[in-house]
Amino acid sequence: MEFSAEDATRSDKEYLKQVYKAVVDAHADRIDVPDTVGYATPKYIHSLISELKQVIDVPISIHCHDDFGLAVANSLAAIEAGAECAHVTINGLGERAGNASLEELVMALHCLYNKKTKINTTLLYETSKLVSSLTGIVVQPNKAIVGENAFGHESGIHTHGILSNPLCYEPISPELVGRKRWLEAGKHAGIHGISAMLAEYGIKPTQEQLRQIVAKVKELGDKGKHVTDADLVAIASQVMNQQSIVEHVRLMDFVVTTGINVVPTASVRLMIDGKEYIVAETGVGPVDAALKAIQKITDRIASIRLSEFRLEAISGGSDALAEVSIKVEDNKGKIASARATGEDIVVTSVQAMINGINKVMMKKAIDMDKDREVKGYTV
């Protein structure tokens, strides 16, 4: 039995000790120290746990909330002082600002304190995405360990450093938590990063062409545009006077049914590498139904699924142009971004999804070719 003293960190310390001693005398197996409103500091937590250890001979747990962004730091301070258990949640879910994040605490213990847990860290990212999907609570992109941007790099200096030695700008290997690093094109991009991104698609421009591509990328970035993988490939194709990306996936047609008292349903017909697939799926709305139908096919065939979706109106009125930006990811951690613009939100979303899937499949094809070369096969 574990006894928790609600709001322990704001309670009178001497009275708190008396209560804990009483429950231990009544044969509680362990006690818990909750920082119920996240008001404590690491210094105070360390001091409190240290004092409790002197008067209590059962294991101590710590339960921290993140109202001031200190939940993980406070949990670590408690463990430093002798606490044996920390209450954590996946993605830091919890009341108000949430609780201490499991993935952050585990990786801090493993990498900063050399204290190993029995957590399989390579499943942290996958578990985070599963919980996010089931709860409908999106993980902020800049969240530590599991945020989409945690291992993303745009700055020219950073990408050059990462390509030379990943430890320059990454505290841990992304594979340790089931991730892959990815590079992003933008106004801060440099030649090394853009070259590496294009190489993932098998595109190898000359130095002069590369300088032109980088200049165009920076020009888009300076205008506040998010430069997707699709944009980058299109720019490279234009500068190099080459045919655009090979379409592994082609949208043949799709139909969406929606309305009041009707479950939104989409029927999609895709051609993937010359083979036709037809599937129907329902969703909370027409866009959700259409994307789920596409994902149902591509996840089964190529293990590709949607990881991020963003919709913006770029003009006023009911006929406003919609801009849809997406990120898709395969089971190997390969990420590709794409964008589409149009008046029909459903059609635009589907086009963006197909563009992104084609980028990932192009990366997969390049990797397969490299594997064949390594094994000595003719490509």
Helices (H), 112-180: 124-135, 156-164
Distances (CA, A) of 274 to 4, 247, 270: 62, 10, 9
Distance of CA 237 to the CA centre of its chain: 29
Q: Is residue 233 part of a domain?
A: yes
In whole angstroms, what is the distance from residue 99 CA to residue 94 CA? 5
> Within this chain, do residues 55 and 104 fall inside the same structural domain, yes or no?
yes
What pLDDT is attached to residue 46?
Answer: 98
Q: Is residue 12 part of a domain?
A: yes
> Within this chain, do residues 44 and 20 fall inside the same structural domain, yes or no?
yes
> Within this chain, do residues 62 and 45 fall inside the same structural domain, yes or no?
yes
Of 83, 105, 135, which marks where a domain is finished? 135
> Within this chain, do residues 129 and 11 fall inside the same structural domain, yes or no?
yes
Q: Is residue 141 part of a domain?
A: no
Q: What range does the domain containing 124 cover?
A: 2-135
* CATH number of the domain where residue 334 is located: 3.30.160.270
Strand order across the beta sheet in which 249-259 lies: 249-259, 262-272, 275-282
What pLDDT is attached to residue 138?
Answer: 87
Q: Is the pTM of this model over 0.85?
A: no
Of 198, 217, 240, which marks where a domain is finished? 240
> Within this chain, do residues 206 and 279 fall inside the same structural domain, yes or no?
no
- What is the total count of domains within the chain? 3
> Within this chain, do residues 253 and 224 fall inside the same structural domain, yes or no?
no
Q: Is residue 53 part of a domain?
A: yes
> Within this chain, do residues 232 and 309 fall inside the same structural domain, yes or no?
no
Q: Is residue 125 part of a domain?
A: yes
> Within this chain, do residues 162 and 192 fall inside the same structural domain, yes or no?
yes
> Within this chain, do residues 269 and 214 fall inside the same structural domain, yes or no?
no
Which residues make Cβ contacts (< 8 Å) with residue 350, sequence separation at least 6? 251, 254, 268, 290, 291, 294
Name residues of the chain where pLDDT drops below 70: 153-160, 162-163, 242-246, 313-320, 367-379
Q: Is residue 112 part of a domain?
A: yes
Q: What is the mean pLDDT of the chain?
A: 86
> Within this chain, do residues 230 and 255 fall inside the same structural domain, yes or no?
no
Rg of the chain taking only CA atoms, in angstroms: 25
Q: Is residue 379 part of a domain?
A: no
* CATH number of the domain where residue 185 is located: 1.10.238
Of 106, 135, 164, which marks where a domain is finished? 135
Q: Is residue 378 part of a domain?
A: no
